[in-house]
């Protein structure tokens, strides 16, 4: 893939990570306000969607889904998975900076390991296959 | 109940990612993020059986996660999340035919270990 194509893939990685973090933080905040739901019926979840944080989280996660599909059309799953794990690092650092959460040394070690994984995966080509997987057609 | 939800989340998430990757590779690369390009992508995705199955699997995983978040701490889903990084990398290599060598295995392993450590 040429340099311009790689830049587009990296832009998609950034969009996927940011929308994932914002969507999940918003959704998680909303569900904690809504409280306990365990049900097999989707209708019981509709009530939760009236919470503004939950609704915003779901809208952002819909954008995340589109960006993720666009990214998977261009890049390997085994590239996308470790690289988008940088979302975990962002969530931990946001918690530290905005909410002044304590980060134990084991959590710092986790942050370092994930960052290492992201850097290693970034050094591999974004796509190693040509066309669709043949035996799946 | 909690562990059943964790298993559903892990399995459906893995299936969803693999099916979506297979489906999106079939319909061709998205070249830019203009609204008409994204509309074209969505129009093709909604009739793409792999993507339909992949999104259905992710929807199941999503509702299971909502349930889990309402009865347990997020950290409860962590072992399954960590294991799914390795499982998905394995499927990417042998089902999707991706070139997974030492670097990507090391990357997936570091991420899986890091995700576990984040909970302490």
- Cβ distance of B24 and A73 shorter than 8 Å: yes
The interface residues of chain A toward chain B in range 8-47, judged by CB-CB distance below 8 A, are 8, 11-12, 15, 27-28, 31-32, 34-39, 42, 45
Residues of A in contact with B103 (CB under 8 A): 120-121, 123-124
The answer to whether A92 touches A111, Cβ cutoff 8 Å, is yes
Return the structure tokens found at A113. Answer: 């390991």
**DSSP state, residue B119:** T
Distance, in angstroms, between A93 CA and closest chain B CA?
A: 11
Q: How many CB pairs under 8 A join A and B?
A: 188
Check pLDDT > 60 for residue B16: yes
**DSSP state, residue B76:** G
Total residue length of chain A: 137
The answer to whether B61 touches B12, Cβ cutoff 8 Å, is yes
Distance, in angstroms, between A63 CA and closest chain B CA?
A: 11
Q: The pTM is what?
A: 0.87
DSSP per residue over A32-89, as a string? HHH-----S-THHHHTGGGSHHHHHHHHHHHHHHHHHHHHHHHS-HHHHHHHHTHHHH
Mean per-residue pLDDT, B16-32: 93
Residues of A in contact with B71 (CB under 8 A): 36, 38
Distance, in angstroms, between B103 CA and closest chain A CA?
A: 6
Task: Quick: pLDDT tens for A24-63.
Answer: 888 878 877 877 666 667 677 777 788 899 899 999 999 9
Confidence of residue B111 (pLDDT cuts 50, 70, 90): very high
As for the ipTM of the complex, it is: 0.90
Distances (CA, A) of A43 to A38, A39, A40, A50, B60: 11, 9, 9, 12, 14
Task: Quick: pLDDT tens for A118-128.
Answer: 999 999 999 99
Residues of B in contact with A129 (CB under 8 A): 25, 96-99
Return the structure tokens found at B118. Answer: 């984040």
pLDDT attached to residue B62: 83
Confidence of residue A134 (pLDDT cuts 50, 70, 90): low
């Amino acid at each position: 893939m040429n340099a311009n194509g790689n830049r587009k893939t990296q832009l998609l990685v950034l969009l996927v990570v940011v929308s994932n973090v914002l969507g999940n933080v918003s959704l998680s905040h909303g569900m904690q306000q809504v409280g306990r739901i365990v049900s097999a019926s989707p209708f019981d979840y509709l009530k939760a969607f009236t919470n503004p944080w939950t609704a915003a989280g779901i809208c952002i996660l819909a954008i995340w889904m589109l960006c993720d599909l666009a990214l998977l059309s261009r890049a390997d799953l085994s590239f996308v998975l470790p690289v988008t794990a940088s979302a975990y690092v962002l969530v931990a650092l946001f918690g530290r900076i905005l909410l002044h959460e304590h980060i134990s040394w084991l959590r710092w070690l986790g942050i370092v390991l994930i960052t290492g994984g992201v850097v290693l995966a970034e050094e591999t080509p974004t796509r190693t296959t040509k066309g669709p997987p043949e035996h799946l057609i | 109940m909690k562990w059943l939800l964790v298993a559903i989340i892990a399995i459906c998430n893995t299936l969803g990612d693999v099916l979506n990757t297979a489906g999106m590779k079939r319909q061709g690369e998205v070249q830019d993020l203009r609204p008409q390009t994204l509309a074209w992508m969505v129009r093709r995705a909604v009739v793409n059986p792999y993507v339909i199955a992949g999104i259905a699997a992710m929807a199941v995983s999503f509702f299971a996660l909502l349930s889990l978040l309402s009865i347990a701490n997020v950290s409860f889903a962590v072992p399954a999340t960590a294991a799914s990084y390795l499982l998905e990398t394995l499927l990417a290599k042998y089902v999707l035919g991706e070139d997974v060598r030492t670097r990507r295995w090391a990357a997936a392993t570091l991420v899986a270990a890091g995700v576990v450590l984040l909970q302490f």
